[in-house]
Chains A and B, each alone.
Chain A
């Protein structure tokens, strides 16, 4: 009887414990036997809820299962990778939008006319030999990387395509919308097309916007090393170094140098370039093209040649010091004059250049000379095919770029251009049409901010100066650029 009474509370306590456990209240649970222990070991240690300890067989099964899952995942990963590889785009699209704001001194024109009576002229000696004589540099008031002048002026007897035509007014501008398409035709062949869309003012109800194809090339790398490239089509020139950064997305600053008009054009033809030795210490490039390496908006340039004579150009560069990233180049070109219907007259350039990188500082320098025969005195020319004459006595620049921080950079450039450009022949009976006398120097300073890899802000000031007998012209420029890269 006593035992029966003692058993009742014990049963009640057991019942209460079970209720509490069912309600999730914390209770003391015997420690679980370790998974993986063998049966002999686990037999005594198994808890009252019946957790079965893992056996070596279980472990092997789990491992096999994991291995199977791993194999399955790897197969799926490989398949996904193959799909991703197969879906690689044949054509990749890039480019940028270049928007800016600019303001110029005066009327935005970089030249003045030397006119009037002989006593009033700066160069009276040209008075009877040229109908119009201009002083200064027509492209000195560049406002963007295209080199477009703020205004080309409204001089009598000269009909020019004045793309900006600001009349000296400050304003916003979409400098260029660029679309670059690259297509890998094979592992060693790359096709590239660069097209610029340039929104400009029209007139007489016409739209002034225009499209410019500035690159259309096939680059073939025939050797396994990839150190030789053969280009066919419309490509960058081989003269000097400025062509490498002629586009707004490549240029550290905004505006081109005063000699960029001679070296940064994109002629059509055939080009070969080879690199030799470690670190490309010697690079040789040569090209045969329709016309010269001048830019299309200048007086010289033949997109489709008007004569049989072609232009041969080349460049040799060396890096003489292996420990210093310093490249010295010598380049030149020779060919029939652009825009001439015959190949009798010649146009040539030669120059030296230097490119160095010292830490965050880039040093660029270039010197160029050139000559174009112009019209012969004993010939009559088609009004639409008249070659300009050129005497580029000295031209060059020195530029220093520095990224002070990964975001902020500063740069400065000094330019010089001493040249004569003329149309017509002063020795002919009627004299020549025009003469441009340039003795200009320019100091450019600017800043750039790389917000991220898609947004770059630039601003710069160009102080244009004249020397010699040429009077000072109010042709300074402030310009800025917002680059949106994609």
Chain B
């Protein structure tokens, strides 16, 4: 206000006149332009329509490219830097959670795998079948999965392993990478769930029934041995698979995995009490077959979370 007060009176008057006349001058300029331009022709309208259509197509294309870019970044972050070195854009990812193969929360079974991949046509996929037999004993639970490095992960999915009667239930499970595994404690005593399995290592600390169940997101494919640091007899084994293409082996030893993309695929058979076995299978449109024989292994002692043997009768 002080500055305005010092502003010369003539200048203030000039500004007021300019502002007052500005709309009038703009209108006058438009009227002058209109009087000079020729009226639009049909060809002009057609050109404008074509340009609008092109702009619309470009906008849609840009949005698609942007989406692909974000998907790629997301995938890179989720896959732990395991992306193949692609020069172009990656193919569209299967929608997370859009698979029937991922077991529902609280269930360990997935009798038949069905990949969703909406963009994949029926001609691009096949069915892999076969048998899994045991040598040297009987298998506790057996699963077969397609080991494909590309996978979106099951982010947002949860799987529950209960702690009850000083044991984990279920004691064997398969989850897709990115799954959050929740360990509710239903016992009155404290449990301390932990794992020292490589990149899936975790330690949930001690809690008991009534406490908020603690969970861990398993991000790296592989076998995760889960124990309680207090009760040495508590153990569970989780197989983290890279994608939704897996199936539980039936009681008769057979299995079936549907919607496997055609081509050479690595297929793995696994059981908590056996050494995993893998082989390459050429999956064609009419399917593929792979039979396995798993060697049953004797259980081995495990240590506590400090790497020490458990003491005697501490539970």
Residue A28 at the B interface, CB < 8 A? no
Tell whether, in the assembled complex, residue A236 and residue B312 are in contact, meaning their CB atoms are under 8 Å apart.
yes
State which of B40-48, B80-88, B113-121, B286-294 sits at the interface with chain A: B80-88
Q: How many residues of B contact A (CB 8 A)?
A: 56
Residue A251 at the B interface, CB < 8 A? no
Query: What string of 1s and 0s marks CB contacts (under 8 Å) between A169-204 and chain B?
Result: 000000000000011100111101000000000000
Tell whether, in the assembled complex, residue A190 and residue B309 are in contact, meaning their CB atoms are under 8 Å apart.
yes
Tell whether, in the assembled complex, residue B308 and residue A35 are in contact, meaning their CB atoms are under 8 Å apart.
no
Tell whether, in the assembled complex, residue A37 and residue B306 are in contact, meaning their CB atoms are under 8 Å apart.
no
Contacts of A92 in B (CB 8 A): 306, 308
**Which one, A60, A224, A360, contacts B188 given CB within 8 A?**
A360
Tell whether, in the assembled complex, residue B62 and residue A41 are in contact, meaning their CB atoms are under 8 Å apart.
yes
**Dominant secondary structure at the A interface:** mixed
Nearest residue (CB) in B for A454 is: B206
Contacts of A468 in B (CB 8 A): none
**Which one, A77, A192, A221, A407, contacts B301 given CB within 8 A?**
A221
State which of B23-31, B170-178, B236-244, B274-282 sits at the interface with chain A: B23-31
Residue B208 at the A interface, CB < 8 A? yes
Residue B107 at the A interface, CB < 8 A? no
Tell whether, in the assembled complex, residue B25 and residue A67 are in contact, meaning their CB atoms are under 8 Å apart.
no
Q: Tell me, in angstroms, the Cα distance from A41 to B28 when the chains sit together.
A: 37
How close is A274's CB to chain B, nearest CB, in angstroms? 12
Residue A357 at the B interface, CB < 8 A? yes
**Which one, A59, A89, A183, A188, contacts B69 given CB within 8 A?**
A59
Residue A38 at the B interface, CB < 8 A? yes
Residue A384 at the B interface, CB < 8 A? no
Tell whether, in the assembled complex, residue B307 and residue A88 are in contact, meaning their CB atoms are under 8 Å apart.
yes
Tell whether, in the assembled complex, residue B81 and residue A190 are in contact, meaning their CB atoms are under 8 Å apart.
no
Contacts of A244 in B (CB 8 A): 313
Nearest residue (CB) in A for B299 is: A225
Tell whether, in the assembled complex, residue A34 and residue B28 are in contact, meaning their CB atoms are under 8 Å apart.
no
How many A-B contacts at CB < 8 Å in the complex? Answer: 151
Q: Tell me, in angstroms, the Cα distance from A219 to B188 when the chains sit together.
A: 30
How close is A313's CB to chain B, nearest CB, in angstroms? 16
Among A12, A44, A226, the one with the most B-chain Cβ atoms within 10 Å of its Cβ is A226
Mark out the residues of chain A between 56 and 86 whose CB falls within 8 Å of any chain B CB in the assembled complex.
56, 59-60, 62-63, 66-67, 70-71, 74, 77, 81, 85
Tell whether, in the assembled complex, residue A403 and residue B188 are in contact, meaning their CB atoms are under 8 Å apart.
yes
Residue B58 at the A interface, CB < 8 A? yes
**Which one, B58, B83, B311, contacts A45 given CB within 8 A?**
B58
- Using A66-B76, A184-B303 as known contacts, say yes or no to A453 and B190 having CB atoms under 8 A apart: yes
Contacts of A74 in B (CB 8 A): 80-81
Contacts of B209 in A (CB 8 A): 406
Contacts of B32 in A (CB 8 A): 2-3, 6
Residue A325 at the B interface, CB < 8 A? yes
Residue A161 at the B interface, CB < 8 A? no
Q: How many residues of A contact B (CB 8 A)?
A: 70
Q: Tell me, in angstroms, the Cα distance from A2 to B299 when the chains sit together.
A: 98
**Which one, B28, B80, B81, B83, contacts A6 given CB within 8 A?**
B28
Q: Tell me, in angstroms, the Cα distance from A92 to B303 when the chains sit together.
A: 14
Residue A99 at the B interface, CB < 8 A? no
How close is B43's CB to chain A, nearest CB, in angstroms? 21
Tell whether, in the assembled complex, residue A9 and residue B311 are in contact, meaning their CB atoms are under 8 Å apart.
no
- Using A67-B76, A360-B188, A453-B206 as known contacts, say yes or no to A236 and B309 having CB atoms under 8 A apart: no
Residue A409 at the B interface, CB < 8 A? yes
Contacts of B189 in A (CB 8 A): 403
Q: Tell me, in angstroms, the Cα distance from A35 to B67 when the chains sit together.
A: 10
- Using A36-B69, A226-B300 as known contacts, say yes or no to A182 and B81 having CB atoms under 8 A apart: no
Residue B105 at the A interface, CB < 8 A? no
B-side residues, CB < 8 A to A, are 18-19, 21-23, 25-26, 28-29, 32, 55, 58-59, 61-63, 65-66, 68-69, 72-73, 76-77, 80-81, 83, 87-89, 165, 188-190, 199, 201, 206, 208-211, 233, 298-303, 306-309, 311-314
What are 23 A-B contacts defined by CB distance under 8 Å? A5-B21, A9-B18, A9-B26, A33-B62, A34-B62, A36-B68, A37-B62, A45-B59, A59-B72, A66-B73, A67-B76, A85-B307, A88-B307, A190-B308, A219-B309, A225-B299, A226-B302, A227-B301, A280-B233, A325-B165, A359-B165, A406-B210, A409-B188
- Ranked nearest first, the 8 interchain pairs of A and B with the lowest CB-CB distance are A226-B301, A9-B22, A184-B308, A70-B81, A403-B188, A6-B29, A34-B66, A36-B69
> 7 new A-B pairs (CB below 8 Å) besides A225-B298, A226-B309?
A41-B65, A45-B59, A56-B88, A70-B80, A92-B306, A225-B301, A406-B188
